[in-house]
């Protein structure tokens, strides 16, 4: 009757990506309609005319969010956005979401309404329908699980594995802001704990706080690229930090990369705040995560279409796999890129 754990390998030995790789290695796909299974931003299901794109994410209180400083409405909004971002990263359009949550009795109806209102606000903004879900109780914290469903024409889909040598590596917006926003919130939480009478000092930090608390998915970038008649050769959204996203693209495309540190877009507020915290701003972009920008590769022939657009930065180029994954620092020295993403399983 007891579950006998004779062998025991700690999950922390594998880390999140290792665990996923280990578990999914034996999956066999048998359905004709399954175009793409585990391993990209979303799965793809054949529906003849349009392909259905499906992505799912789970957010756990105490791991992914801290309700001492995250308003529930923002949390609801962000939980939807995070999933839509995965659909856009396939160059697809989300249309529906299903939403499940587990709640402890510590939550009142008013609290759940706030959470739900934030979700519906994001649905409205991104023009998607909330079509189903499950609501249950939990013994401790709040758990949110969302699945987003979208569609795209077969020929429009962009996967992680299409990057080719000499492609340009591009990213939308700027990076590291969400991570620095989190540092600010964590600092003020600590201050508040020590002295509850002190007001939090968030002045002038609006941009990075918003990056953390109310991120947006780059629907506009997908539309912009379409208008420019650019179809990326590969794409991923930046949820775990630039470094691990580049690793995903390059590993799956079987290519190398040369990333230029000086080209990585960092907002001045992110930069200054990193300095204030004695952090290396570049490290914040590489490992910070939660920026939900789009990282993609394009054919070098598309360079002229993109070079002067403020929404994009060309941050490197794709090389032969033998050359490895490298970052050329501002001083000209070359460093190997390592995945240092947010690894929830290693963090605990």
Quote the least distance from Cβ 171 to its own copies, whole Å.
23
81: contact with its own copies by CB under 8 A: no
Which residues fall within 8 angstroms of residue 292, CB to CB, at 6 or more apart? Answer: 81, 82, 85, 178, 215, 216, 217, 218, 237, 238, 239
Under DSSP, is residue 23 helix (H, G, I), strand (E, B) or coil? helix
Binder to its own copies among 96, 251, 252, 340 (CB under 8 A)? 96
Binder to its own copies among 121, 164, 187, 200 (CB under 8 A)? 200
Quote the least distance from Cβ 81 to its own copies, whole Å.
15
Nearer to its own copies, 132 or 301 (CB): 132
Which of 132, 129, 119, 134 lies closest to 150 in space, CA to CA?
129
- What is the CB neighbour count within 10 angstroms for residue 134? 10
- What is the CB neighbour count within 10 angstroms for residue 303? 12
Distance CA 225, CA 1 (A): 57
Quote the least distance from Cβ 348 to its own copies, whole Å.
5
Element (H, E) at 187: helix 177-194
Size of the site for its own copies (CB under 8 A): 101
155: contact with its own copies by CB under 8 A: no
Quote the least distance from Cβ 329 to its own copies, whole Å.
33
Nearer to its own copies, 14 or 228 (CB): 14
Site for its own copies, residues 114 to 133, rule: CB under 8 A? 114, 116, 120, 124, 127-133
Site for its own copies, residues 42 to 61, rule: CB under 8 A? 42-43, 45, 47-50, 52, 54-61
Q: How far apart are the first and last CA of the chain?
A: 29
Under DSSP, is residue 102 helix (H, G, I), strand (E, B) or coil? strand
Distance CA 228, CA 240 (A): 28
Distance of CA 260 to the CA centre of its chain: 21
Residues 105 and 225 sit within 8 Å (Cβ to Cβ):
no
Quote the least distance from Cβ 105 to its own copies, whole Å.
6
Quote the least distance from Cβ 144 to its own copies, whole Å.
9
Binder to its own copies among 65, 69, 77, 296 (CB under 8 A)? 69
Quote the least distance from Cβ 118 to its own copies, whole Å.
12
198: contact with its own copies by CB under 8 A: no
Binder to its own copies among 81, 90, 143, 222 (CB under 8 A)? 143
Q: Tokens 């392909």 label which residue? A: 51
66: contact with its own copies by CB under 8 A: no
Quote the least distance from Cβ 201 to its own copies, whole Å.
11
Binder to its own copies among 80, 89, 102, 221 (CB under 8 A)? 102
Distance CA 75, CA 293 (A): 18
Part in contact with its own copies (CB under 8 A); list of ranges 62-70, 167-175, 240-248, 311-319: 62-70
64: contact with its own copies by CB under 8 A: yes
Rg (Cα) of the chain, in Å, rounded? 21
166: contact with its own copies by CB under 8 A: no
Which of 235, 245, 254, 46 lies closest to 159 in space, CA to CA?
235
251: contact with its own copies by CB under 8 A: no
Tokens describing residue 200: 């939090």
């Amino acid at each position: 009757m007891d579950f006998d754990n004779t062998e025991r390998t700690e999950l922390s030995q594998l880390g999140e990506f290792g665990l996923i790789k280990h578990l999914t290695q034996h999956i066999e796909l048998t359905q004709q309609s399954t175009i793409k299974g585990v391993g990209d931003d979303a799965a793809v299901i054949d529906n003849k005319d349009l392909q259905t794109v499906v992505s799912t994410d789970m957010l756990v209180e105490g791991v992914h969010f801290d309700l001492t400083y995250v308003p529930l409405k923002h949390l609801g909004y962000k939980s939807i956005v995070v999933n839509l971002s995965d659909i856009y990263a396939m160059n697809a359009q989300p249309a529906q979401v299903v939403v499940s949550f587990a709640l402890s009795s510590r939550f009142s109806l008013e609290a759940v309404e706030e959470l739900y209102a934030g979700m519906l606000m994001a649905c409205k903004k991104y023009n998607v329908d909330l079509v189903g879900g499950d609501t249950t109780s939990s013994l401790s914290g709040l758990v949110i699980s969302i699945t987003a469903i979208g569609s795209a024409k077969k020929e429009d889909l962009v996967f992680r594995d299409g990057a080719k040598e000499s492609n340009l590596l591009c990213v939308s917006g700027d990076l590291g802001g969400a991570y620095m926003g989190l540092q600010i919130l964590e600092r003020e939480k600590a201050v508040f704990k020590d002295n509850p009478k002190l007001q939090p000092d968030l002045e002038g930090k609006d941009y990075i706080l918003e990056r953390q608390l109310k991120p947006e998915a780059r629907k506009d970038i997908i539309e912009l690229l379409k208008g420019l008649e650019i179809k990326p050769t590969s794409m991923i959204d930046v949820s775990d930090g630039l470094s691990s996203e580049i690793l995903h693209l390059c590993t799956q495309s079987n290519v190398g990369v040369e990333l230029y540190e000086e080209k990585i877009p960092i907002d001045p507020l992110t930069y200054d705040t990193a300095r204030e915290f004695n952090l290396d701003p570049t490290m914040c972009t590489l490992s910070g995560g939660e920026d939900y920008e789009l990282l993609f590769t394009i054919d070098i022939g598309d360079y002229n279409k993109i070079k002067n657009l403020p929404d994009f930065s060309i941050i490197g180029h794709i090389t032969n796999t033998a050359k490895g994954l490298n970052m050329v620092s501002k001083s000209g020295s070359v460093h190997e890129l390592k995945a240092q993403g947010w690894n929830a399983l290693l963090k605990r």
